[in-house]
Amino acid sequence: MRNVVGPTLYFPTELDEVIQKKSAVTLKRTQYATIMDTLSGNIRIQKGESIIILKPTEQLVGDVKDAVNIDEDHAVLVRDNKTGQLNLITEQQVFFPSSDQKIEDVRTKIRLDDYQVVIVKDENGKFIFKKGSDKESSFFLQPYWELLSVLWSTGINKDRKALKITHFDCRPQFTWYDFEIRTRDNVELVLGLTFFWQIIDVEKMIHMTGDAVGDLCSHSRSIIIQSASKVSLEEFLSQFNEFVLKAVMDPKDEFSSKRGYRIHEVEVRSITCKDPNTQQILQEIIQETTNRLARLQKQDSENETMIKKIEGDIAAEKMNSELSSLKQKTRQAEALAIGQAEAMRVKAFMDGVEDVPEKGEIFNLLRKKEILTELSKGKANLYFTPSDVNLSIQSKAP
């Protein structure tokens, strides 16, 4: 076998047989091809930029491939075909494998946030816990290492293990859960809860359980069902939040602490009856309770308004009383001042006419004059009796 390479116009002879028409393989600068000699089994790597014309006994192994850019965030896991060992190449370069090397994987550097934790299983099956709070919070998976993943329960009823977790979030988080309970009077309820919980110790958690969310919900469901079976529907509805809190947040229960997580809070999101007829009755009870609360609120508002009015009236009466008392004191002060002035006036008059025997009559006469003067300034009609003005009538002959 031989190749006839163009450009040429080829005419085979009577002894030639055209086995195959081939095209040259063009490689870009960042491409390479793996070529095997079918007679010897030798393999070679041809790098770009080049044009490959395969020999009659050579063939491509696979397709033309791109070289791998190794940078700060990427590394190449390579297997040595002679020794079978795996090596991780992290030196920054454009990597072309040799004929004895096979690229098993291109690995991306794992970068952890402060609140994240991942679990790495080494070549001996031991767990290595990598935390975002560690000094080295970014790393490549070494050869024979693998990132541990767990399946957690998901769905509102936590009935499917389909949530794949590799990076454990240690921040507080919410979880919704719906399940059925039965009260002492045999009423079936569907209870919807919201858990506010947090992973505290990943190492303890991973050694105790493979489904932290499932364990949390299943244990809470168990203790709530036990507690609900001891009370009636009316008792449960009257204080359902306190009931659930007391059951789930029991400080004596070490279930969650042994599994490395903590429940911060739990609240009842919804309560529905499984039976439609019972649900209708429950809705009526809730509606009546709502109406009663509305009436109580209205009455409280009216009472508050009335109390405010009474307080206002009391304050007004107090102010009126103080005003009257103040007016009385003012009048008393004015009368006292007038009386003192009048007394001083009388005293001054008496002292001035001390030697006059008729000083009292003179004073009264002057006072009458002042009174008549004041009265004459008005529009009133004034009548005097003869005794008032010392008037006498006489009749004389002509």
| pLDDT tens-digit readout, 293-350 | 888 888 888 888 889 889 888 988 888 888 888 888 888 888 888 878 877 877 776 7
Q: How far apart are CA 86 and CA 130, in angstroms?
A: 22
Residue limits of CATH 2.30.30 in the chain: 22-66
CATH topology of domain 149-274: Tetrahydropterin Synthase; Chain A (3.30.479)
Please state, rounded to an integer, the average pLDDT across all residues of the chain.
Answer: 86
In angstroms, the Cα distances linking 147 to 118, 127, 136 are: 7, 10, 17
212 CB neighbour count, 10 Å cutoff = 24
pLDDT digits (tens, 9 = 90+) for 352-376: 666 666 666 777 766 776 776 766 7
- Give the model's confidence band at 80: pLDDT under 50 very low, under 70 low, under 90 confident, else very high: very high
**Overall CATH class of domain 22-66:** mainly beta
pLDDT above 70 (res 5): yes
Measured CA to CA in angstroms, residue 286 lies from 124, 185, 189, 234, 296 at distances of: 61, 18, 15, 11, 15
Give the 3-state secondary structure of residue 204: helix
Nearest to 176 by CA among 101, 266, 245, 99: 266
- The angle subtended at Cα 334 by Cα 332 and Cα 338, nearest 5°, is 115
- Average pLDDT, stretch 56-82? 91
List beta partners, residue 58: 37
The 10s digit of each residue's pLDDT in 116-138 is 999 999 999 999 999 999 888 89
Average pLDDT over residues 206-211: 92
Per-residue pLDDT reduced to its tens digit, 219-248: 999 999 999 999 988 888 888 888 899 889
pLDDT digits (tens, 9 = 90+) for 137-186: 899 999 999 999 999 999 999 989 999 999 999 999 999 999 999 888 88
Contacts of 24 (CB under 8 A, 6+ apart): 51, 52, 53
Residue 11 three-state SS:
coil
Start-end of CATH 3.30.479.30 domains in the chain? 149-274
Q: Are β-strands 110-111 and 65-66 bridged in parallel, bridged antiparallel, or unpaired?
A: unpaired
> Considering the entire predicted model, what is its pTM?
0.64
pLDDT of residue 291: 83
Stronger pLDDT, 113 or 360, i.e. the higher one: 113
**Contact partners, residue 127, CB within 8 Å, separation at least 6:** 119, 120, 121, 148, 203, 206
Q: Note whether 76 and 95 are within 8 A (CB).
A: yes
